Structure 1
Amino acid sequence: MKRFDTIGQYGERTAIYADRAYSYDEMIEAADAIAREVGDRTLVFCLCANTKESIFGYVGFLRGRIVPLLLDAAIHSEQLQNLIDRYRPTHIWANREHNQLAQEMDTTYGYGDYALFECPHVIEHELHDELALLLTTSGSTGSPKLVRLSYDNLFHNAASIVSYLNINEDDRPITTLPMNYSYGLSIINSHLVSGATIVVTEASVMQKEFWQLCRNQHVTTFGGVPFVYEMLQRLKFETMELPSLTKLTQAGGKLNPDLASAFTGICERKGIQFFTMYGQTEATARMSYLPPDQNREKAGSIGIAIPGGELTLRKETGELITAPNVVGELVYQGANVSLGYAEALSDLASGDENEGVLYTGDLAYMDEDGYFFIVGRIKRMIKMHGNRISLDEVEDLLRAHGHECVCTGTDDELYVYTLHDDRAAIKQVIKDMMHTRGVTILQIDAIPRNESGKILYAALPKRELVTT
């Protein structure tokens, strides 16, 4: 399975459905041709969209032991240039009409809508032998801080996901997430190694074409971050006729409890398995999942560790927590834990700095049955007048009182953001329940999110409107 070296066994089975069906044999032929044009083991950038060209390039790079950095095709030109200057790729696999690249670089090869742009001033990269892939951290795609993933990371995690989701050749997922996002990429990896057929589209769940494609191509599964499920609720997903759909997956943040309960009920009525999952890019993708038969009894839980992984809790002192219902930092151990970070070209030669252990930065507890529940982020903690406050818990408190808010803050400064004209009511809840001062409540037009739907807390405004 390492480097997609066994997928040739699927031969004439359909690997990708895009403008038409492409067999595994066709995909491998195109993928290997792209890699041959790059040649030696080196660093390339892949500007990703949900297209056959992006996927074929990615598959070819891994098969050819070429290390790709996966970036959003819509990355801002200045951010892209900063990354090029810092990491000096030899080639960039991108849409042949990419304005910035087409003006500055020559192309050496083309396939479909994509071309291989040759970067000037090529250098010889020193790459660690196990380095397979680079992904951006969950923040800005223009950040120079990258996650270094090995071949073992990628394919151990894919095997675990195949195991607990019971993925097989008959599965037909449809793309709903960017492939440069670890969750979206994990769907591609786990289904390709299983001989499944991936229905590839750039249409969103808000477009009729997406649902028409689902029906025409007999889609069996798709995944989404919380924002996607909010959209599905608005679209009245429960009324849709999708007889082939058998599995839904959710990750990328905690689902609103009411929304989680609603989708549990919808999926039960429709005979669909609904998996909520937890992961981080630093662990390739997945670390835990909640079995669908526990969705009601263990509502709000991230579940149990994936096959081959282990979850534990640690006190601030590093001491292991074994008792139930005691909060500590969630620690994951497994073969999918990344090698470490890269912030400069020289870091690409570094070895395994994590040694299979990831301190997640999440605060959690374990119940009596061994199921884990996240209560907040260590970095999402502030002190208000000497008392530690979890920003996630403030959001949960306000949600419990009917207010959908997001919160940021620094010590002795708490900012609450709402989309509605309910600032007075929020102020009253905070006064009654938290007994704290120095809270600024702001009404905004929209909550800033990245391409995978995660809230961009750093992009929230700081202008004062109402202060309690």
Structure 2
Amino acid sequence: MNSFKEMEQFGDRTAVYADRAYSYSEMLELSDTICSNVGERTLVFCLCSNNKESLFGYVGFIRGGVVPVLLDASLHIDRLRRLINLYKPAYIWASSDHQDLSQSMESSFVYGDYTLFECPTQVQHDLHENLALLLTTSGSTGSPKFVRLSYENIFTNADSIAQYLNIDADDKPITTLPMNYSYGLSIINSHLICGATIVMTESSILKKEFWDLCKEQQVTTFGGVPFVYEMLDRLKFETLHLPSLKKLTQAGGKLSESLARKFAALCHQKGIQFYTMYGQTEATARISYLPYEDNMRKAGSIGIAIPGGELVLQDDNGNRITEPLMTGELIYKGPNVSLGYAESLFDLSKNDENNGVLHTGDMAYVDEEGYFFITGRIKRMIKMYGNRISLDDVEAFLHEHGHDCICAGNDDQMVIYTLKEDYVQIKKIIKEKLKLKSFKVMRIKEIPRNHFGKILYSDLPKHG
């Protein structure tokens, strides 16, 4: 199931606007040319930005059966080298200006501002026949753990999203999220399979040129993580005049109930459909959505399962909870549940380890009408600016750099506790190498532990 192979039907319709309009026919010709320079089915790293080169490369690789690994173009070179060593990609599709790659690798093909760099140490990858794509779960931390996605995962999820959002060929989304992030990619996939037009931009919503482009191209929809909606609130979204805007979507973390209510009311006044949604990369992207008609009445809810999916709750013993308002672990079942994880090239031949069932790690309850509400997370994960961050991954990364630290926090702020006077070095590493924002470094005298040596995170000093 590879729906990108069916896009020829859209012919002269505009597929992408990025400095100019590119029709589906033109996009597919360029995409297939990029992929043809790779040749055989193999592994390719794509260092993505929201530009036509990244998008065309992705479309070409998926159409041609090449397995892309989508990474942030700003990924620190140390992290990139580590991933290259673990996965041994045959090629890297990246900006021609990437100094480290241009100095160490041969160029095999150039399109626009991007070059297909040929990696010097090539291996024969044993790729599972259903493996289509690898996505990271941890933003810019450069974790070696990737989610293994199949063609069925990608396109059943895109179909479900297109169905509940009523996407058609007249829709025009604008990029507000990185395309290497599962939410941002799901917007691209769900619109391309419907013959819609993607407006590509790297401009922030805080820039005048973003809004000028929205008006010029008559954008109909965009999506955002909670931080985007906080910024829209500060920008006084209610005063913005965008008559073409028809749909707004929100995912990538829980929007505060007050802000959810405010945007629901504003969108109702403006005649805009406002959808809040819930998802995980492990389920390709989307798991549930709150129908726009219910966004005032059920503010704070993640809604109902997407078409073709099912949400259930389990207690600590693995028994299904059937009574409303009882909290348990949220379990999702559907064809978009990933094949599993990979931590090196040796995992790329693995079969489907999840069999369509995902333990989300989130605690939730369901109300009497069947709407689900998240109450907390089981694992030590937080979401910052839409990126899911593993506190354990950050700890391990700092330990690699000689800092004995522990991490805690919530979706608003990560706190790094250190035993030494090394605030400046830690801040520098986090900002430059992980490119994370909204964190605080605190010094403590000792790390609280129980008699088994396990860290007692709940006993750490509170942070404000």
What are the equivalent positions in structure 2 for 1:178-189 lying under 5 Å apart?
A: 178-189=178-189
Can you give the 5+ residue segments of structure 1 that lack an aligned partner in the other structure? 382-390, 393-407, 421-445
What are the equivalent positions in structure 2 for 1:207-218 lying under 5 Å apart?
A: 207-218=207-218
Match of 2:453 in 1: none
Q: Deviations over 1:428-454 (max 9, x none)?
A: xxxxxxxxxxxxxxxxxx9x9999xx9
Return the TM-score normalized by structure 1.
0.84
Asked if the contact 1:3–1:65 (Cα under 8 Å) also holds between the matched residues in 2, the reply is no
Match of 2:118 in 1: 118
CA distance in 1, matches of 2:47, 2:408: 36
**Partner SS, residue 190 of structure 1:** helix
Asked if the contact 1:46–1:92 (Cα under 8 Å) also holds between the matched residues in 2, the reply is yes
Are residues 467 and 59 of structure 1, via their aligned partners in 2, closer, same or farther at CA, if it must alter by over 3 Å? Answer: closer
Match of 1:36 in 2: 36
Match of 2:442 in 1: 462
Are residues 40 and 450 of structure 1, via their aligned partners in 2, closer, same or farther at CA, if it must alter by over 3 Å? Answer: farther
Match of 1:336 in 2: 336
Shift of 1:138: 2.9
CA distance in 2, matches of 1:85, 1:417: 32
What are the equivalent positions in structure 2 for 1:290-309 lying under 5 Å apart?
A: 290-309=290-309
**2:6 is equivalent to residue 26 of structure 1:** no
Match of 1:378 in 2: 378
Count matched residues.
414
Shift of 1:297: 1.2
Which amino acid in structure 2 is aligned with residue 462 of structure 1?
Answer: M
CA distance in 2, matches of 1:371, 1:184: 25
Matched residues, percent identical? Answer: 63
**2:180 is equivalent to residue 200 of structure 1:** no
**2:5 is equivalent to residue 13 of structure 1:** no
CA distance in 2, matches of 1:337, 1:138: 18
Q: Deviations over 1:41-99 (max 9, x none)?
A: 00000000000000000000001000000000000000000000110000000111111
Match of 1:366 in 2: 366
CA distance in 2, matches of 1:205, 1:143: 28
Which amino acid in structure 2 is aligned with residue 51 of structure 1?
Answer: N
Deviant stretches of 4+, over 4 Å: 413-420, 448-451, 454-457, 464-468
Match of 2:219 in 1: 219
Match of 2:143 in 1: 143
CA distance in 2, matches of 1:370, 1:419: 29
Are residues 295 and 419 of structure 1, via their aligned partners in 2, closer, same or farther at CA, if it must alter by over 3 Å? Answer: closer
Shift of 1:262: 1.0
**Partner SS, residue 133 of structure 1:** strand
Match of 1:95 in 2: 95
Match of 1:276 in 2: 276
CA distance in 2, matches of 1:44, 1:179: 16
Are residues 416 and 277 of structure 1, via their aligned partners in 2, closer, same or farther at CA, if it must alter by over 3 Å? Answer: closer
Shift of 1:460: 4.2
Which amino acid in structure 2 is aligned with residue 243 of structure 1?
Answer: P
Shift of 1:461: 2.2
Match of 1:53 in 2: 53
Asked if the contact 1:3–1:62 (Cα under 8 Å) also holds between the matched residues in 2, the reply is no
Are residues 121 and 138 of structure 1, via their aligned partners in 2, closer, same or farther at CA, if it must alter by over 3 Å? Answer: closer
Shift of 1:379: 1.9
**2:323 is equivalent to residue 323 of structure 1:** yes
Asked if the contact 2:134–2:146 (Cα under 8 Å) also holds between the matched residues in 1, the reply is yes
More displaced, 140-149 or 186-195? 140-149
Asked if the contact 2:175–2:198 (Cα under 8 Å) also holds between the matched residues in 1, the reply is yes
Asked if the contact 2:257–2:300 (Cα under 8 Å) also holds between the matched residues in 1, the reply is yes
**Partner SS, residue 461 of structure 1:** strand
Shift of 1:137: 1.0
Asked if the contact 1:246–1:273 (Cα under 8 Å) also holds between the matched residues in 2, the reply is yes
Q: Deviations over 1:291-327 (max 9, x none)?
A: 0111111111000000000000001100000000000
Q: Deviations over 1:217-271 (max 9, x none)?
A: 0000000000000111111111000000000000000001111111111101100
Shift of 1:456: 7.4
CA distance in 2, matches of 1:141, 1:2: 30
Asked if the contact 2:204–2:210 (Cα under 8 Å) also holds between the matched residues in 1, the reply is yes
CA distance in 2, matches of 1:295, 1:333: 24
Asked if the contact 2:265–2:296 (Cα under 8 Å) also holds between the matched residues in 1, the reply is no
CA distance in 1, matches of 2:27, 2:237: 33
Q: CA RMSD in A?
A: 2.8
Asked if the contact 1:183–1:252 (Cα under 8 Å) also holds between the matched residues in 2, the reply is yes
CA distance in 2, matches of 1:139, 1:180: 9
Can you give the 5+ residue segments of structure 2 that lack an aligned partner in the other structure? 384-390, 396-405, 414-426, 446-459
Are residues 417 and 351 of structure 1, via their aligned partners in 2, closer, same or farther at CA, if it must alter by over 3 Å? Answer: closer
Match of 1:387 in 2: none
Q: Deviations over 1:358-405 (max 9, x none)?
A: 000000000000100000001259xxxxxxxxx99xxxxxxxxxxxxx
**2:65 is equivalent to residue 85 of structure 1:** no
Asked if the contact 1:87–1:344 (Cα under 8 Å) also holds between the matched residues in 2, the reply is yes
CA distance in 2, matches of 1:342, 1:357: 17
Shift of 1:2: 1.3
**2:163 is equivalent to residue 163 of structure 1:** yes
Which amino acid in structure 2 is aligned with residue 353 of structure 1?
Answer: E
